[in-house]
Every structure is written in structure tokens, then in C-alpha cells.
A and B are shown apart, each in its own frame.
Chain A
Amino acid sequence: MNWSWFHTLGSPKKFYYLSLKWERFLLSFGALFLGSGLVWGLGFAPEDYLQGNSFRIIYIHVPAAVIAQSFYVAMGVAAFVQIVWRMKLAPIALRGFATVGALMAALALITGAIWGKPTWGTWWQWDARITSVLILLIMYLGIIAIHNTYLERQLSDRLSAVIALVGLINLPIIKYSVDWWNTLHQPATFTLTEQPKMPSEMWLPLLLSFIGLYIVALAIVFIRMQTHILEREKKTRWVRDEVNDGV
């Protein structure tokens, strides 16, 4: 198998220019999906027979929660690559996924609180899934804190990778123990193995906004990674040329 594409990605410079190209593509597609999903979901999807219009926040809440979890896995993969191969790009990706993942976890918690007030009558419940998203947010913030603490960049890269990987191994244990501890939340809206129980006019816009938000979040990760690359490689010639071009 030809691995040269992998090495191309590993070079910060190559990745910078590639991701500049992808970014426009991703942002336009993401905006298209997210926009159509939100307009359809907020404006035209039928009302929920029990929750009325308040259920419509699902079109942000569920995508944000799923992305927060899946970005943790992406970050863990970056951490693994950092520890095993010490690729230059891995800590940059780790940091990008951590920041956007923390943002998504916070978004899921905030929209969840807004949704909880009219339906459960409370902003906050110590329910299993709320708690595990909160723990996820704390773990993201811990990794970002480690990454910001050390003066030596190499050390902070490797130590944040260690704690990200330990977190990834522990995440299933934490999630299932919290599930076992307390469950009040409605069961997951989407599972891969079953037909959704919602009518299709309700879940199709959810799928659209999920794909859209996922792509947009990925584009934001790329933009953050570009900033980090420019900062880390600021002594190199190509970065000076690149930055001076823009001014």
C-alpha cells in the first residue's frame, strides 16, 4: 500500500495548504446542510405531540452532543499518533479537536438546560447523560489546561497526549458507570441499528443539521489548526512569506 498521502498530511506546511483548500469546500457544504436542516427543522417539521414546539432545540442539541463525543475519539487517535510516532501534526490536531470538542460539549449542556426547563421543569438534573457530557467537558478542559501549562512545547504536547489517551481508555468506563448510576434522560434519538421512532419529517432535518454541524465543526478544527501551524512554524521561511502576503 502506498503511504505517501499519509506523510504528506504529516507535514504542517503541506497540511496548511491542503486544509486551506478543503476549508472553503467544507464550510460551503456544511453551511448548506446546516442551513437547510435548521430551516426545515425549525420552520416546517411537525410539532411534537407532547413537547410542542420546544422539542425543536433538538436540531442543535443532539448534533452538538454527538460531535462532542466523537471529537474526543478523534482527539484520542491524535494522542495515540503523537505518543507512538511523534508526528508534528498530531499535537496540533489534538489541540484543535480539544477546543472545538469542549465548545460542542458546552453547547450541548446549554441547549439541554434550555430544553429541560419547559419539558422537565428544571434547568439541571443529575441525570446520567447530562452528567457524562459535563464530565466530558471537564476532561476536555483538563487536557487544554495541561496543554497550556508547560513552557516547553514538546513536553506539553506529550503530556497532554498522555492524559487524552488515558481519558479515552477511561471514557467508556465512566460513561457506563454514570449510566448505571442514574438514568432519567430519554433514550438516544439515533442508533445505527434501529429504524428511528420519529416520523421522517422530523428526523430527516435532524440528520441534515447533524451532518451540517459536523462538517462546520471539522472546518473550525482545520482553521484552528492552521493558526497553530503558523504560530509553531513562525521561524520558517514559508510562514513569513505566507503572513507577509496577507498583510
Chain B
Amino acid sequence: MTYSSIFLSEWYLTFRRKQDIANSILFFLVVIVLFPIGVSASPSFLASASVGIIWCAASLASMLALDGIFKEDLRDGSIDQWRMNGLMVSIIVLGKVLIRWGAFILPLLVLIPFCGVALSLPEDLMFETIVSLLVGTPTLFLLAAIGASITASLRNSAVLMTLIVMPLYLPVLIFSTGYVKASELGVSGIGQLAILAAIFLIVLLISPFFCAISLKASAE
């Protein structure tokens, strides 16, 4: 058992269970649809709200995409196996989360232009929206992984996970939409993008560490 064999099997598993990825992407679309129907379908409202709507839907969907990522490893004893083979749980966690992120972000990016048209997102903001998603969603995934590792031993974990992870999402939400809005006003949003990247680096440091602590605690 090596890191590469674990990552390879995770990679195959992720793409063999296409329905899991499809579900979180479909969930993203359903949330997008709620806003024009529930709030207002007027193009002027949608144009100003579209970035926020896309980001709200992406943060909810990212939580759903990671819910249960460690459940099977906990149930079938993989976590104990990793530890007995002298592998670091935190590195495996990081690899698993990044693979999930890759499987999630690719179809999402394909969908964004269509969602943008449906939500009357101004065309010159499309690029910034995609950049903000690329820089911001890894942070969301790493934060959601903390929630997923804490709730790994529970049968119904989605609600509790949302409750503890959502407050941690706020800075990402603020700076990513801030970055797109700055470009909308014609100001350079590079500062917000830099803060977004800084938050990513902090979370990259702490998330695998805390995931490992809570997974080990659950496995004992």
C-alpha cells in the first residue's frame, strides 16, 4: 500500500461512480433555478445577483460533493490500514479531496457559461467568475473536508456538516464575489484574488491536519 496506489484507486473510483459527481452538479443547477423562480426573474435583478447566486449554489454543492467522502474508509477499516502501513492520514486526505475537487470543478466550469446566460451574467464578467471559482472552490473543498471528517461516523451527517462548515465559508464567499464585483466596477480586483489565494494556503495547511485528527479519533 503506497500513496500512489491509494490515489490511483481513488481516481478510478471517483470516475466509476459518475452518478455521485452528477448528483452534486445537478444539485448546483437546481439551486440556480430556485433563485429566478423564488426571488425575481427580471434580467436587471439577475444581472446584479448572478455572481452571488452562482457562488451560493457552488458552496452548497461543494458541501454535498464531500459529504460522506470518508465514511466508507472509516467503515471498512481503510483508515486503520493506512496507519498500520505507516502512511500519513493527512496526505491521503489531501489527495482524496483534490481528486474530488477535480472531478467536480471540470463539469462545473463547462456549465458556468450556460448558467451565466440563463442568469444574465454580463459577458465580460464570465472570465472573472470562472477565475474566482478556480481559486475559491479548492478552499471550500478543504473546509468541507473538515466537516466531513468530523461527521464521518454519523449516518445522517449532511445537516450537521452544513451547520459547522457554513460559517467557515464566509470569507471565501465575500472575497470571491468581491473580486468579480470589483471588475464589474472597472477596478482591479487582484487584491481580493490575492487574499482568496492566501486563505487557500492557510486552509491547505490546517485542513489535512485537523481532518487526520478527527478521522483517527473516529477510527479508535
Which residues of A line the B interface, CB within 8 A? 83, 135, 138-139, 141-143, 145-146, 149-150, 154-155, 158-159, 162-163, 165-167, 169-170, 173-174, 177-178, 180-181
Contacts and interface: CB of A to CB of B under 8 A. Distances in A.
Interface in B143-159: 146, 150, 153-154
A167 B163 CA distance: 12
B217 A159 contact: yes
Interface residues of B, number: 25
B160 A163 contact: no
Contact of B171 (A150, A154, A165, A177): A177
Given A162-B214, A163-B146, 16 more contacts: A146-B164, A149-B154, A150-B153, A150-B154, A154-B217, A158-B217, A162-B213, A166-B146, A166-B168, A166-B206, A166-B210, A169-B206, A170-B167, A173-B202, A174-B167, A181-B174
B214 A149 contact: no
Contacts of B206: 166, 169
B166 interface: yes
A166 B202 CA distance: 11
A219 to B, nearest CB: 29
Q: Which 4 A-B pairs rank lowest in CB-CB distance, beginning with the nearest?
A: A177-B171, A142-B164, A158-B217, A177-B174
Contacts of A146: 150, 160, 164
Contacts of B210: 162, 165-166
- Residue among A135, A141, A166, A174 with the most chain B CB within 10 A? A166
B163 A178 contact: no
Given A150-B153, A170-B168, A173-B202, A178 B217 contact: no
Contacts of B213: 83, 158, 162
A141 B214 contact: no
A159 B163 contact: no
A142 B167 contact: yes
A165 B199 CA distance: 17
Nearest to B154: A149
